[in-house]
A and B are shown apart, each in its own frame.
Chain A
């Protein structure tokens, strides 16, 4: 029987000829990521094991691990500063060499760094201490988030249990019209599938529409598959993916493709030509609507950033909307590049000027206000339109603040007008 992308990877990683949905396998993990929220938790598990007389000793393979500081950086308070110190000690103790330290070279939000630095490869099993680890599914990895106990287990044993998920297939046809982004595609899908419609399942994407999307747009789609509850989102290795890795000096013997007779639990088809700008209303990323319903909603803040909306392509598209409008923003506009790579390109190509001329604040790479950490947290009753991934109660600040999720272009257009605005109105 044929296998889906996720089944193929899990079969290979667990040394089995084939696997089926519902099977429980013990799979070898190829790559592990820890950030400044997950790593202290892992350290906590290690200390607990040591108190119980277990010798933590060495990691299974320190080279499988990479770390970054991204959530509460630059240190927000004493606790976050101490967590960063703890990570430095972990890196020393266990010999973790791939460590992207904040303010010490290349740094930024884990999921964007994983792509820019090619830290994950097609066909790998990749686990991170962050739910949006699903992002790397766009590169063809089985990429999923776990808590710090499971990650501590993987660090010591190199493997973990997985339930083989049922796979839902999403066929994308055609191409997006101007003013529409990958963010609109995934918001449309989330509205259809629901906040728990993919729980315990894999979401696999394919079709000529997928191949028409730039890689960074695919990352946005894979990033938010977890908002439907999915274990992972995954995409095949097409020429764009292979070309990307070639440009990084990597070659692959085999492209990751699903078997022609793979079995899917459910199939959805989308014509990208028909996708409208989408907005997720409070308080769920799956509470979506076409922009018309909420256009004109007054906003206090527009936020462009995060692992979802802080990539180079996101900044480029948002800056284009602002530049073409020729206007200054009427609402507070906060722009936070996801990584130093994005930031540097924004400076070189004049995007920083476009945002600052419009009146924006440019923050340093960090998760920032997306998690209500700092750099633009919302007060009681404040309304934001945000290029981020979650609008749960209190996600970006006060539990009575209101967050509307939209594409970076929609956020840019909304900032200019001071109210939720279809970016195509400014695309003259």
Chain B
């Protein structure tokens, strides 16, 4: 199981698409330095100055919509982001985050999204299925991973699964 994670939340709205997470001109360079320094540039050009290793992105609906570019979860990872908390995710982003083992896509309730503010200190404990807003001393339940996704998350990515058929047991 993933450890308990602690970090600061950077809050954004609905429909943060992959062109905002990593604009297309940066897709040519897969180096951690390049991807990391341009993460979220389309949504917030100051993101790379604000983000600290271990921080989280907090977003509304349909995070990661658009392109299939796996550079999106990679850019966030290289910028130091360990998890994205969102009300919902676009499917390819979600799949890339999990199968690539890049970061945790954590589904939260609308209440949690509304309550947590930009800059709040957050603790994610997936073992207990909760997110704590340490700045406000509030606890929210997260939507558990579907069984298969949980197993890939625990393994750290699809290439760490010995046989895909094991996932169906």
Contact = CB atoms under 8 A, between A and B. Distances in A.
Contacts of B45: 399
Contact of B100 (A37, A72, A128, A149): A149
5 contacts: A24-B168, A72-B28, A147-B99, A196-B15, A196-B62
Interface in A11-33: 24-26
Interface of A: 24-26, 37-38, 40-41, 44-45, 49, 54, 71-72, 76-77, 79-80, 83, 128-131, 133, 145-150, 152-153, 157, 159-161, 163, 195-196, 199-200, 229, 231, 284, 371-373, 390, 392-395, 399
Interface string B80-116: 0000000011111001100111000000000000000
A54 B20 CA distance: 34
Which of B25, B61, B165 has the most A CB atoms < 10 Å from its CB? B25
A241 to B, nearest CB: 25
Contact of B17 (A54, A373, A392): A392
Interface residues of B, number: 42
A218 to B, nearest CB: 21
B123 interface: no
A131 B62 contact: no
A229 B89 CA distance: 9
Given A149-B70, A163-B146, A372-B23, 6 more contacts: A71-B24, A77-B28, A148-B100, A150-B96, A152-B159, A195-B15
B43 interface: yes
A38 B70 CA distance: 9
B66 A26 contact: no
A41 B30 contact: yes
B29 interface: yes
Contacts of A159: 164
B135 interface: no
A149 B17 CA distance: 20
Contact of A40 (B20, B30, B146, B168): B30
B28 A284 contact: no
Contacts of B89: 199
B11 interface: no
B19 interface: yes
A41 B66 contact: no
B71 interface: yes
Residue of B19, B28, B71 with most chain A CB atoms under a 10 A cut-off: B28
A371 B24 contact: yes
B95 A150 contact: yes
Given A24-B168, A40-B30, A147 B70 contact: yes
A18 B111 CA distance: 39
Contacts of B101: 149
A7 to B, nearest CB: 17
Given A41-B71, A146-B68, A200-B91, A49 B159 contact: yes
Contacts of A130: 67-68
Contact of A195 (B23, B65, B165): B65
B69 interface: yes
A161 B92 CA distance: 13
Contacts of B5: none
B130 interface: no
Contacts of A24: 146, 148, 167-168
Given A83-B28, A229-B62, A393-B43, A149 B20 contact: no
Nearest to A37: B27
Given A195-B62, A392-B19, A394-B19, A146 B92 contact: yes
A125 to B, nearest CB: 15
Contacts of B164: 26, 157, 159-161
Interface string B46-86: 00000000000000011001111111000000000000000
Contacts of B157: 149
B42 A399 contact: yes
